[in-house]
Amino acid sequence: MEKIKRVLFISVFINIVFLAHTGKKIYSRLSSVETNRPSHYAMRIDYFKSLPNPKNKIVMVGDSLIERGYWNELVDNSKVINRGISGITIRGLLKSRLVESLDQSNEIILLIGINDIWQNRDELDIQTDLKTLFTLLNKKNFKKVSIIGLLPAFDKELAERDLMRKRVNKLIGQSRFHYIDLEETLNHSKFFMDGVHLNGHGYKTLVSKVFK
């Protein structure tokens, strides 16, 4: 009886060691695949490069609030196209050279900057990047440039940095571009899914102000 117990114990132990080793190898392989996968930012930029350069369009440029919008359907206008990239910062937009790639015949509508605040970037760096973006937009001489002010946030972490958001909006408002202030329009949690991203009602309300 003792011999049988010993054999069973050894068998169970060997199986546990085998399963642990196999699981570790599988996890390592999966982790490697995930690590080597291109970032969302890189995939979006690559995708945009594969598309024909838009001309005489209304180009929506910005972060996840732009990317998640079905703009041509929301506006009912096939000339409105989406160049949004979730998680992108102002500096990320500058590095992407996305703005430079757009033909000057286009109208540009921008909404960007909340990720800079989310990532706790230094406010002076954010202001410097914004001014660099303004200079770039001036040089391109687009048909029209509109910049949507950073939206109110009902996320606790972002709410703590609301004064910074308002100062960034003030700087945007002082630029020569058409500033779209939605501070009062969207200042309620009913327009948001998670305190940051707009829900359907929020998008419809934004469109009614931006494309009026």
**Both tokens assigned to 183:** 């501070």
Cα–Cα distances in angstroms (integers) from residue 29 to residues 17, 24, 53, in the given order:
19, 9, 39
User: Which H or E run contains 40?
Assistant: helix 40-50
Closest CA to 63 of 80, 50, 82, 77: 82
How many angstroms separate the CA atoms of 197 and 154, rounded? 10
Residue identified by tokens 């909340």 is 114
> Looking at residue 37, what is its pLDDT?
60
**Cα(181)–Cα(190) distance, integer angstroms:** 18
Please tell me the predicted confidence (pLDDT) of residue 5: 53
CB 165 within 8 A of CB 111: no
Q: What is the pLDDT of residue 212?
A: 85
Q: What is the pLDDT of residue 34?
A: 41
> 126 CB contacts (<8 Å, ≥6 apart)?
90, 113, 116, 117, 164, 168
Whole-number pLDDT of residue 2: 61
Q: How many residues in total does the chain contain?
A: 212
Q: What angle do CA 177, 61, 189 make, to 5 degrees?
A: 90
What is the structure's pLDDT at 155? 82
Q: Is residue 192 a contact partner of residue 198, using CB atoms and an 8 Å limit?
A: yes
Q: What pLDDT, on the 0 to 100 scale, is given for residue 1?
A: 59
Look at residue 110 and give its three-state secondary structure: strand
Each of the 212 residues of the chain gets a pLDDT tens digit; together they read 565 555 455 565 555 544 455 444 444 443 333 445 679 999 999 999 999 999 999 999 999 999 999 999 999 999 999 999 999 999 999 999 999 999 999 999 999 999 999 999 999 999 999 999 999 999 998 999 999 999 998 888 777 889 999 999 999 999 999 999 999 999 999 999 999 999 999 999 999 999 98
Which pLDDT does position 158 carry in this prediction? 77
pLDDT of residue 30: 37
Q: Give the residue from 139, 204, 211, 205 showing the smallest Cα distance to 178.
A: 211
Name the nearest CA neighbour of 169 among 149, 183, 148: 149
